Structure 1
Amino acid sequence: MSAPLVTAIVVAHDGARWLGETLGAVLGQSRPADRVVGADNGSRDGSADLLERALGAGNVLRLSRSTGFGAAVAEVLGKLEAAEDEWIWLLHDDCAPDPHALLHLLMAAERDPKAAVLGPKLRDWMDRKLLVEVGVTVDRSGRRDTGLEAREYDQGQYDGDRDVLSVSSAGMLVRRDVWERVGGIDPSLELFRDDLDLCWRVRNAGHRVVNVRRAVAYHAEAAARRRRRITASGDHPRRLDRRNAMFVVMANLPFTAMLWALVRNVLGSMMATLLFVVAKQPANAYDEVAALGSVLLHPGRLIKARRARKHGRKQGYFAIKKLLTPRGAAYRRLSDLVQGFLAGEGPVESAGRHHAVVAPPSEEDDLIPDDAGFLRRFLSRPGVLLTLALTVVALVAERDVLGGPLLGGGALVPVVGQAADLWRFYLEGFHDTGLGSSAWAPPYVAVVAAVSTLFLGETWLGVSVLLLGSVPLAGASAYLATRTIIPAVPARIWLAASYALLPVATGAIAAGRLGTAVVFVLLPVYAGLGVQLLSAEPRRARRAGWGLGLLLAVGTAFAPLVYVLLAVLGVLAMIAFGRVRQLATALAVPPVLLYPWLRGFADHPGQLLLEAGLHRSSLIDPALPPHALLTFSPGGPGLPPFWVTAGLIATALAALLFRRQRMIVAIGWGVAVYGVLAAILVSRVTVTSAAGGEAARAWPGIPLAFAATGLLVLVALTAHRLAELRAAGGLRRLVAVVAVAVAFSTPVLAAGFWIASGTRGPLSGSTPDPMPALAEGSRTLLLRGDSFTVLHRRTPLLGEAELPVPRQARDQVARAAAGLVAGRGGTDAATLAALGITHVAVVRPAPEVTSALDSQPQLTHLSLTEGEGVWRLVEPPARVKAPPEDPLRVPMLWAQAALTALVLVLAAPGARTADPLVVAVAR
């Protein structure tokens, strides 16, 4: 074992408290190092003097405080002549090797000639039986994984030499010729993940990285545990670690895998940032965003690093991907993050419980049950099973809508564009669409843009999740939001399934009512937060008030009617319970956040009854029978027969017979009556949208959802009485069984009818594009029957068709369109040209309309098919001038963003515990 030449390099930086023991351990090896040299990176605690006393002044190199670990090693090696068979032993100032560590490392290197990097098993500096590392791996987003349980002790369970993706630079033994061939440690990685990058490149060069378990070193991890200041980089340690993690993974992965890693990092960082903000950890949230931005905003650095690592990268990846964290670990990590957040502890990094090594074939089966057990436990939860079942029901029922090229129809305009287009539309001052408008864009556009951003910027995917996925989302929200209200799991499952499959949900999907679908998902959350708001714990009630206000603002952006309904209930709750401050907070947040848009309702208060999307009379049942409202059927396409919800009505009526819990029965029926009365009133009002067009009655879906929620909570809270009747035996047992069967008939019949009939309505996955191909890029008057629309350049985005149009301009276009269809040409064509219109398109033109337009010299016939005809105006159009932008618009947008962030922080939830008040009422 005396043949190899070993050069030990100890790098110190303000580590005097550990350095003495480290130097003693290095110099006391049973197989001594041939050369021991030191490098001090500008220490101010006497570390340099310790190095010189132990190693001699000529064997210590003094460097600046900004020098990183890799740069220090490179400086030392640059002054030492390389030997023919030389190994470099890298040591931190806080890493004390066992007396036989170097011997075992060299013995392992002799056994395996392909091993070029070897590392010891690392234990904790203080608790010397506690394992720190036995090799390290990462997932494809750069999250570090040690393969150890939290506070796992060394009991010989990891003995033996194992191939690993990386070993720590603390105690790393490297062949010098391989070090020089791969370029050593990247000097741009001052700290953290520099060892991972080096080992990855060594593996790409065809060598092995081995963790030698008989070699032991004790590591304090001073930098990672914030036990000393880091001066090699100006970044915060957590930010630096996260940045380097993403950079190393994306620099070393092949191109395709790198693209997937980029997507994973963007989505993962966004989720982590959101959790940090909600958990009131703004510094960690900033670090996450800054780390991601540092990588994305410097593509040249990443491109340069990828070019330097291109040799052997693709070939080496086939072996390296076996060493990456197993894919199932991502679910475990996400579960740990969410569970820590829900427990009020904030999002905490997982301890890394997946093995970082490749086990022999006989041990591979031991890894599978661990992940499978987690997935099995997760998938066996009642709420998860319910959501999956509702997802399957929705996918089967929506079979005719899914997979089409263009989703739209009914109240939903054809979904086009990307999330960036929606953000631009929401932020711009003048909207050059239709006849042009300088009004504020509907705020729900920002919500849809944010959701679409999470789905890779695809607007169609975000809208599909919100609309087509509203049934499983509503079931999940109802199940989770009522966990502190309804302790019994079976009752919650019934409530969630019955709520998700109400006629309001299926009717909203069939008619393309995006606003109702979103509010329908949020209503159970409103109920859960409302109960928490009445909690006796002030901090919990205060957070619930801010959270309710924030989510109520989201619902109001889609359907302002929900704010009116909840405001009435809020005032009644103030009178009954006296929670004035919390309720006032919840009711004040939406008007403040949505003020620039809501102020437009002052002149047209009736528009508060409308929701997001188009408003067409064909979507409303003109003669809605009374029994329809009493069975929570709001009318329109896609609704089941009235007897589907008869079971819910029957069980709610049966609850009136219970003498106990009269307060619950009274509140439940009171909310139901309130919702039905509001639905009757709403269904009798005729409203015209600010964008003009045909007058239509408001849809009573949201009030009926309120009413159904009251009865569902009532029945679920009194369900335990059925268990008492069943236990009594005899006739009471039969009554209980019949009552349960009747109650479950509602979700079963609703799901069966929806699956059998499908999504019957105007919503379609193959909606034709309303913009004529011959008129793209111009302002076009589109005539459809007795109605008209002005299109400009392209198909309108979500929300553009709802922008208010000046009444004078709208009336001018209406008179000109009527004149053209009637055969009066000159003046009407000049009016359209003055408004910037260049083309006239007619959907399914009748022969008399075609003849009238062809007979006018001011129009040139371009095309005519059975579905559409297009004419061009001869007179050149006038240029539409944009009005001056409101100087207060940008400050108000910034104020909106700041207020939203503030409310989000104030609404951060703490530990979730059952409310004693709720439990007492439930009993």
Structure 2
Amino acid sequence: MQSVTAIVVAHDGARWLKETLAAVRRQTRPLDRVVGVDNGSRDGGGQMLTEAFGAGNVLTMPRSTGFGEAVHEVLDRLPRAQGHEPHVDEWVWLLHDDCAPDPQALQALLWAADQDPGAAILGPKLLDWLDRRSLLEIGVTVSRSGMRDTGLEPREYDQGQHDGEGLRDVLSVSTAGMLIRRDVWDQLSGLDPELPLFRDDLDLCWRARAAGHRVVNVTEAVAWHAEAATRRRRRLSVSNEHPRRLDRRNALLVIMANLPLWALMRSIFRNIFGSVFRTVLFLVAKQPANALDEMAALASVIGRPGRLMRARRRRRQWRKQGYPSVARLLTPSGAAFRRLADMVQSFIAGAGPVDSAGRHHAAAETDEEDGEELLSDSGLMQRMFTSPGVLLCLVLLAVTLAAERSLLYGGLLGGGSLVPITGGASDLWRLYTESHHVTGLGSDTWAPPYVALLALVSTIFLGKTWLAVSVLLLGCVPLAGFSAYAATKKMISYTPARVWLAATYALLPVATGVIASGRLGTAIVFVLLPVYAALATRIVAGSRRAAWGFGLLLAVGTAFVPLLYVLVAILGALAAVSFAGVRKGVGVALAIGLGTPIVLLFPWLGRLVQDPGRILLESGLHDIALTDPRLGAENLLMLSPGGPGTPPIWVTAGLVAVALAALLVRRHQMVVAIGWGVMLFGVLVAIVVGRLTVHGVPVWPGVPLAFAATGLLVAAARPARWIGEFAATGRLRRVAAGLIVVVAFATPLAAAAVWVRSGAEEPLQRGVRDPMPLLAAVGSAKGQGTLVLRPRDGVVTYSVLRGGAPLIGESDLESPEDASQRFGTAVAGLASGRGGTYAQTLAQYGVQFVSVPGPVEASLHRTLDSEPALVRMSLSAAGGLWRLAQPAPAPPPPSGGDSMHRIWLWAQATILLVILILASPGARTAEAEEQYADVPQEEPRGRRRAGEDRVPV
């Protein structure tokens, strides 16, 4: 026989209490006793309890009374049911004022208790009070860092996926709907009075598990919970501390009070480092109050060892022997990495750091060898390898590896616009921070800002610049696919359309041409363009945080390809004209987005204004013609920039056809029009740019065509989800829709097939020879230079190396104009054999060797052999090397440096830090969530049985 006493504790919860009381009265299993406790409510909650239960069944307590203390007071006053009926199992049902149980919840809990006499604490499945389909808890576990883990996905809907599991062993159930045996309550001394709110249920259930009792969740029992205290939907009177600080402090206290000694030591160190990390995230997310709560909670536990020791003494009797049974239900240590990933993902997505980001489902499985229960985290791997985005990236990676088979291993990577990659991250940092560069003829020009960006990425890749460049350049196809798929999450909800868009974008002719030509700058811009488009949609809505992030990423792209800023500025001006007068804050957001790169890149951009032709150039070498200045209009219209690595123009014909078909779709006409507008703008710019030359070298129209392709893809993909509706209207239209789908997916498939068959074409290649001859590197004194002559088409180009191969970025440094002219004249005279004092001029600039890569033209090596001031050291098919007869003096060491340069570096770092903080996502505050507390919701969706009445909402 079973006797149940329900205890409803209320505290300023009148807006939920009426439904809770109605739900208690409608239980299909009648209650034996019902008691209400009013903890000083000021909203009429006490009167509601009295009307429901009668004045004799309501106890009034001060406002500062905690939930556990109120329950203790009730049970101390109530006589035990066993005093009258010796064979009665007495149960206590705990209910919050914001928890409405299903009419059959109690009946389901008692049925589960009958199935297993060892079950001492049982809890229902909790659903959200507002969104009645959303799961809150089906049992709770916790990590050794005190992070709460529900095992559910964010906003996971209840579709019966967790039902039918019988009695689920869990570490803890909530006191909202908890059913506990009275004798177990007495044995454990109930809820700890030192935990008036938050984590008191975890502590009680932990002690019950350690004492040998079962704590189970019963999915057949359902209750709806508002979590008013956790979500700060009412003021708390039990403590003056902030709710988040109180919750975090209690979590740490429960963990440290119940862990054995050695586990406690590890937990202390783990929590110290974890709290510091979360504090940094909160500060970056512009949440100083939460950062203070995090550190204050840790300090209040560690800084008061007396309270911690008292708590540990009270739990000493069952802590050691009962911990193994509890440990199996704790969140596995490996899930900490997943929690970190979820936290960072939430942070990036704009939700800010979260208190319990882990979504690990603590389900138990049995090991066949020893029969022990183990915890698995297989859900992560299952979701990862079934995610369309992950599968898309894996396919693109496989295509890339197959196409770039000749570039995956070997010697130095170089060719085309890419300088052979040498040096490491420290060399790039030195190049960026020094004010005088002992390279070439010497330069006082500040290094271009992309050097710092490459140095940062190289540092992330353990100082290996070659690895960083290989990932960014050779991996731009899968990176662009991931970028396009992720950036369109909120723009395009239809998954097949997102997959098609990302695959088509990643395999555009621009991408394959970028790789073959070694254009690192365009590769980075190509990856960032989808992100620009996603952030731009938020900027036109007036989001300033998106504007700061857009400006920061625009500065990154502009540092590599200055033309990018011009294109974005034109589109930004058009957006300002179109939206600034319609939507509030758009003008300010656009000004932030376009002004941020100017502030970050100011000195370098000033040099570009003095030489406007450099705006058309990108990072890397500029003395090689890699494109045809007479590129046909059909190439540009088919988004093919020409040059090495670009496929036949028919590859993109399917994309253009689908975009034209999108004009026939009635919905999203504005989106289609904007997409086509961006496409036409990009093509027009490509036509103009493709006809220009800088220093005699044609300009590559890749970036404008990437803009055009982005617009075309948006125009084609946004209405793609309506193809199904179009197909459902008739047989002819069904055939037409099927044809559109086939043509659409034929574009990325054809591009991938052509790229894999042809492979990555030259000029980019592996195994590039080091331009610095070994004899020159060994025989030259420190700082002495080697003149490298490269005759091509009757013209001799040159470079001066000092001590080794040039670093990436050194080609963009400018030497003094008079020195360049004088040195160029000496090189021309030496190569033409005009005699004179040209060799002496070279020696004055510290040149000791003259090198000519092979094969060396016969006329040139005869000319150099006839020069009295030169002595031949070697001549072969690999090249020739000559040495000046008289030793050249080493250039003077650099002076103390430019103070203005040092000041700007510190200012730039400070500005960058401020922009990062402004661009970083914040979290929705409690006040923001409060506005949803009274939103009308639909009728509860739980189990509706025949003849069952619903509690009105």
Q: What TM-score comes out, normalization by structure 1 length? A: 0.65
Determine which of 891, 896, 899 is the counterpart of 1:887: 899
2:286 to 266, 280, 291: 280
Correspondence for 1:860:
871
Q: Deviations over 1:330-373 (max 9, x none)?
A: 345423442365251315565595989998655779647x3222
Relative to structure 1, the CA distance from residue 349 to residue 665 in structure 2 (aligned partners, 3 Å threshold; closer, same or farther) is closer
Does the aligned pair in 1 maintain the 2:789–2:852 contact within 8 Å? yes
Report if the CA contact (8 A) 2:149-2:331 is conserved: no
State the AA in 1 paired with 2:921.
Answer: P
Q: Which residue of 2 aligns with 1:549?
A: 551
Shift of 1:276: 5.0
Match in the other structure for 2:840: 830
Q: Secondary structure of the equivalent of 2:441? A: coil
Counterpart residue number, 2:822 = 812
> Closer, same or farther in 2 for the Cα pair 1:524/1:225, shift >3 Å?
closer
The Cα of 1:463 is off from its aligned counterpart by 1.1
Aligned pairs (5 A) from 1:784-795:
784-785=790-791, 786-795=796-805
AA aligned to 1:830 is Q
How many aligned residue pairs are there?
659
Aligned to 1:371: 377
- Contact residue 145 and residue 354 of structure 1 kept, 8 A: no
The CA deviation at 1:678 is 0.4
Residue in structure 1 matched with residue 341 of structure 2 by the alignment: 334
The change in CA–CA distance for 1:576 and 1:340 in structure 2 (over 3 A counts) is: closer
Q: Show the counterpart of 1:111.
A: none
The one-letter amino acid of 1:556's match is T
Residue 409 of structure 1: how far off its partner (Å): 1.2
Equivalent residue letter for 1:779: G
Residue 630 of structure 1, aligned match among 627, 631, 637 = 637
Amino acid at match of 2:482: A
1:902 aligns with 2:904: no
Structure 1 residue matching 2:620: 3-state secondary structure: coil
Change (3 A) 1:157 1:732: closer
- Alpha-carbon deviation of 1:657? 3.4
Q: Which runs of 5+ in 1 are unaligned?
A: 1-129, 138-142, 160-210, 231-240, 250-264, 290-322, 689-694, 913-923
1:252 corresponding residue in structure 2: none
Where 1:423 maps in the other structure, the secondary structure is helix
1:468 aligned to 2:465? no
Residue aligning to 2:587: 580
1:426 pairs with 2:423: no
The structural deviation recorded for 1:435 is 1.3
Query: Residue 843 of structure 1: which of 842, 853, 865 is its match?
Result: 853
Distance 2:705 2:277 in 1: 34
Q: What are the within-5 Å matches in structure 2 for residues 649-664 of structure 1?
A: 649-664=656-671
Q: What's the offset of the Cα at 1:437?
A: 1.0
Closer, same or farther in 2 for the Cα pair 1:271/1:896, shift >3 Å?
farther
Letter in 2 for 1:749: A
Query: CA 1:355/1:870 → structure 2, altered by over 3 Å: closer, same or farther?
Result: farther
Q: How does 1:174-573 map to 2 (within 5 A)?
A: 213-214=210-211, 225-226=248-249, 276=282, 278-281=284-287, 330-331=337-338, 333-339=340-346, 341-342=348-349, 344-346=351-353, 348=355, 361-362=368-369, 367=374, 370-535=376-541, 538=542, 541-573=543-575
Amino acid at match of 1:836: G
Distance 1:825 1:803, change over 3 A: same
For residues 475-517 of structure 1, what are the alpha-carbon distances to aligned partners after superposition, in whole Å with 9 as ceiling and x for unaligned?
A: 1111111222222111111111111110001100111100000
**Cα pair 1:338 1:347 within 8 Å, conserved:** no
Between 359-368 and 374-383, report the one with greater CA deviation.
359-368
Summarize deviations over 1:48-71 as a string: whole Å, max 9, x none: xxxxxxxxxxxxxxxxxxxxxxxx
Q: Are 1:764 and 2:771 counterparts? A: no
Counterparts in 2 of 1:287 and 1:411: CA distance versus 1, 3 Å: farther
The alpha-carbon distance between structure 1 residues 440 and 362, as it changes in their structure 2 partners (threshold 3 A), is: same
Partner of 1:672: 679
Structure 1 residues 879 and 680, CA gap change in structure 2 (3 angstroms): same
Partners of 1:779 and 1:837 within 8 A in 2: yes
The CA deviation string for residues 435-478 of structure 1, in whole angstroms up to 9 with x for no partner, is 11111111111111111111112111111111111111111111
Residue of structure 2 aligned with 1:590, choices 590, 597, 602:
597
Match of 2:704 in 1: 703
- Residues 315-336 of structure 1, C-alpha deviations (whole Å, 9 max, x = no match): xxxxxxxx99665753454234
In the alignment, the residues of structure 2 paired with residue 826 and residue 554 of structure 1 have an alpha-carbon distance, to the nearest angstrom, of 48
Distance 1:866 1:419 in 2: 34
How far the C-alpha of 1:518 sits from its partner, in A, is: 0.3
Distance in 1 between residues matched to 2:282 and 2:850, nearest whole Å: 53
Distance in 2 between residues matched to 1:600 and 1:287, nearest whole Å: 48
Name the counterpart of 2:655. 648
d(CA) in 2 for partners of 1:660, 1:324 = 48
> How far did residue 396 of structure 1 move?
1.3
Deviation readout 1:843-875 (Å, 9 max, x if unpaired): 111122222212222112222221211111122
Partner Cα distance (1:269, 1:609) in 2? 48
Match in the other structure for 1:180: none
Question: So what's the TM-score if we normalise by structure 2?
Answer: 0.63
1:280 and 1:905 in contact (8 A); partners too = yes
Q: Which sits farther off after the overlay, 280-289 or 875-884?
A: 280-289
Match of 1:400, SS? helix
| Separation (CA, whole Å) in 2 of partners of 1:513 and 1:269 | 43
- 1:206-260 Cα shifts (integer Å, max 9, x gaps): xxxxx993489xxx99999447999xxxxxxxxxx9xx979979xxxxxxxxxxx
CA 827–638 in structure 1, closer or farther in 2 if over 3 Å, else same: same
Aligned residues of 1:340 and 1:348 also touching (Cα < 8 A): no
Q: 1:472 to 1:283 in 2, by over 3 A?
A: farther
Pairwise CA RMSD: 4.2
Aligned mates of 1:500, 1:605 — CA distance in 2: 31
Pick closer, same or farther for the CA change 1:674–1:425 going to 2, 3 Å. Answer: same
Q: CA deviation at 1:814?
A: 2.3
Once the two structures are TM-superposed, the CA of residue 816 in structure 1 deviates from its matched residue by: 1.8
For residues 861 and 212 of structure 1, the distance between their equivalents in structure 2, rounded to whole angstroms, comes to 87
Letter in 2 for 1:677: L
User: What is the distance in 1 between the residues matched to 2:728 and 2:853?
Assistant: 66
Q: Given the alignment of the two structures, is residue 798 of structure 1 paired with residue 808 of structure 2, yes or no?
A: yes
Q: Using the alignment, how far apart are the partners of 1:288 and 1:512 within structure 2?
A: 48
Which is greater in Rg? Answer: 2
Q: State the SS of the aligned residue for 1:619.
A: coil
CA contact (8 A) 2:347 2:921 kept: no
Relative distance call for 1:907 and 1:337 in structure 2 (3 A) is closer
User: SS in structure 2 opposite 1:412?
Assistant: coil
Distance 1:403 1:367, change over 3 A: farther
AA matched with 1:625: G
* Separation (CA, whole Å) in 2 of partners of 1:326 and 1:437: 54
Q: Distance in 2 between matches of 1:900 and 1:718?
A: 39
Contact 2:335 2:358 in 1 (8 A): no
- Identify if the C-alpha distance between structure 1 residues 158 and 663 changes in structure 2 by more than 3 Å, giving closer, same or farther: closer
Compute the displacement of 1:825 (Å): 4.1
Change in Cα spacing, 1:334 to 1:703, as seen in structure 2 (3 Å) is same
Query: Separation in 2 of the partners of 1:556 and 1:467?
Result: 17
